[in-house]
Amino acid sequence: MNYRTLLLLSFLQAPFLQGSPITAQGTGVEVAPGSFNVGSRMVGVTQGATLPVAAAPILSVSDEPLTLSVDKPAGWAKGTRLRGCNARDVNASGSFVPGSLQIRRSVKGELLKEGEDYLVDTEWGHVGLGPKSRVTAKDKVFASYRYSLERMDTVQVSAGGKVSLKQGKPHISAPVPPEADPGHVAVAHVLVSHGAVEVAPDHIYPITETAAQAVTASTRGRIPRTLAKLKAGEPVTIVCLGDSVTAGGNASKPERRYPDVFVAGLRSRFPKARIEMQNLSAGGSNSRQWLSPDKFPYKGLHGDANPARFERVIEAKPDLVTIEFVNDAGLSPAGVETSYGEILKRLGPGVEVILITPHFTMWRMMGFKSMREAEKRPYVLGLHEFAEKHKVGLADASARWEHLAKEGLPYLTLLDNTINHPDDRGHLLFAEELWKCFE
């Protein structure tokens, strides 16, 4: 099944409810009597109800000491971060409550003026020096403000057909919906987003399919030499090449990074094999920087050191190389052919390859307008075409992320930094698609 066919199937199988819609009603959701199609299971609602949805918590910070950046706060990288909004490595987009910020020279001291003494980026919760500031970048000031959390709630139906709402645990960026109570079936999730005062239709995510029903284009049979060595219990060296996602952002601990999860799964399946995995990754890098550092210099987080050197891959003498570069997302299919063709050339015919299609990132980075859109990035199409043309392996993580909406999960809730770094659940999706290549 080719990629274009998969896109058509994805469109035809868009999330829907049969007979019993859940609709947004102000600060709640209304569930009418009827039947839900949850995966291959029909769930009947005998008694409809309007379920109130509580707003996400808004928390207050008082007198947070900080210094104002000389950089104008703009976007996720510029300015001083208000720490309450922090989602591990960046601030959570939308978490800052606009209009809530007060900055003083001292605790209970003189109030500074926004627009003159300081500037604020309200989307990211960053601050910086204003054009007429009475303080300098060396002066300690004190900020008081509010920020909101997010939450995922679960609409569940009892064995008797009664519907109820189970509230989830709030989180700054990656809320997890609660499991249904014993004897109940989860039929939908409701996203309570930052600053939302009412439930919107886009906040309701019916569970129409299970994870097992996801259709992806991950390949079988394209790494025969590696698979044969694993089955024979021979030594196998795997290089995981990539950017910050491969490096581990934002896995909760090293063993939850997708390369580590992937290899742990292989060791469990092939206990006699001696598997060595080398994670060769550099945050912020793309394939062209690894291949042509003179033409495309790498400016990462490693000071003068440059880990993005392709000779490191060659020196590892791998049997198999997996390749993940969400930072290649700007490449056209022709660009994929150029860069990845060069990778194959340098590796030589003795090394097998699995390309990993990228996960979903924040909307504006992909040109999306909602969390329910089908994959359409030219780079992803290019990876599918390249894998088919050159008969290399493909782990179709992109299709798995696209399917999340049908599982009742807005994909942004798996991005721990709200931009591009997956949480543990997101890393597991990469590993699961890689494992399919070994079937």
Tell me the pLDDT tens digit for each residue of 287-312.
999 999 999 999 866 567 789 999 99
3-class secondary-structure state, position 406: helix
Percent above pLDDT 90 for the chain: 89
CA–CA distance, 148 with 191 (Å, rounded to integer): 14
The rounded mean pLDDT for the chain is: 93
Tell me the pLDDT tens digit for each residue of 228-265.
999 999 999 999 999 999 999 999 999 999 999 999 99
CA–CA distance, 322 with 326 (Å, rounded to integer): 13
The CA angle 419-425-428, to the nearest 5 degrees, is 110
Q: Which helix (H) or strand (E) holds 425?
A: helix 424-436
pLDDT in the model for residue 303:
64
Question: pTM of the entire structure?
Answer: 0.92
The CA angle 412-190-29, to the nearest 5 degrees, is 150
pLDDT in the model for residue 12:
31
CA–CA distance, 54 with 197 (Å, rounded to integer): 9
pLDDT in the model for residue 371:
87
Cβ neighbours for 212, distance < 8 A, ≥ 6 positions apart: none
Tell me the pLDDT tens digit for each residue of 17-61.
444 489 999 999 999 999 888 998 999 999 899 999 999 999 999
> What integer is the mean pLDDT of 366-380?
92
Q: Give the pairing of strands 320-324 and 235-242.
A: parallel
CA–CA distance, 326 with 430 (Å, rounded to integer): 12
Select from 2.60.120.10, 3.30.390.10, 3.20.20.140, 3.40.50.1110 the CATH code of 213-436. Answer: 3.40.50.1110
CA–CA distance, 430 with 422 (Å, rounded to integer): 10
pLDDT in the model for residue 369:
86
Q: Give the pairing of strands 34-38 and 102-104.
A: unpaired
> What integer is the mean pLDDT of 1-19?
35
Residue 143 reports pLDDT greater than 80: yes
Can you list the alpha helix ranges (DSSP code H) found in 163-286? Answer: 224-231, 244-247, 258-269
Higher pLDDT, 132 or 3: 132
Higher pLDDT, 296 or 369: 296
Residue 1 reports pLDDT greater than 50: no
| Of 367, 273, 386, 358, the residue nearest 319 (C-alpha) | 273
pLDDT in the model for residue 234:
97
pLDDT in the model for residue 120:
98
Cβ–Cβ under 8 Å, residues 324 and 240: yes
pLDDT in the model for residue 336:
98
Q: Cα dihedral angle (293, 296, 302, 303), rounded to 10 degrees? A: 90
Tell me the pLDDT tens digit for each residue of 271-288.
999 999 999 999 999 999
Residue 6 reports pLDDT greater than 90: no
Residue 267 reports pLDDT greater than 90: yes
pLDDT in the model for residue 302:
58
pLDDT in the model for residue 40:
85
pLDDT in the model for residue 301:
62
Residue 15 reports pLDDT greater than 90: no
Residue 10 reports pLDDT greater than 60: no
E strand segments, 40-199 = 41-45, 49-52, 58-66, 80-81, 86-87, 90-91, 102-104, 118-121, 126-129, 141-148, 151-158, 163-166, 184-192
Cβ–Cβ under 8 Å, residues 28 and 51: yes
Residue 206 reports pLDDT greater than 50: yes
> Could you tell me the two tokens for 57?
């918590």
Tell me the pLDDT tens digit for each residue of 411-436.
999 999 999 999 999 999 999 999 99
Domain boundaries, the chain: 17-55+150-207, 58-148, 213-436
Contacts by residues 335-343 (CB-CB < 8 Å, ≥ 24 positions apart): 335/379, 335/382, 336/379, 336/382, 336/383, 336/385, 336/386, 337/382, 337/386, 337/389, 339/287, 339/288, 339/291, 340/287, 340/383, 340/386, 341/386, 341/390, 342/291, 343/287, 343/291, 343/310
> Could you tell me the two tokens for 376?
């359409």
Does 2.70.98 match the CATH number of domain 17-55+150-207? no
pLDDT band at 7; cut points 50, 70, 90: very low
Tell me the pLDDT tens digit for each residue of 83-142.
999 998 899 999 999 999 999 999 999 999 999 999 999 999 999 999 999 999 999 999
Cβ–Cβ under 8 Å, residues 47 and 157: no
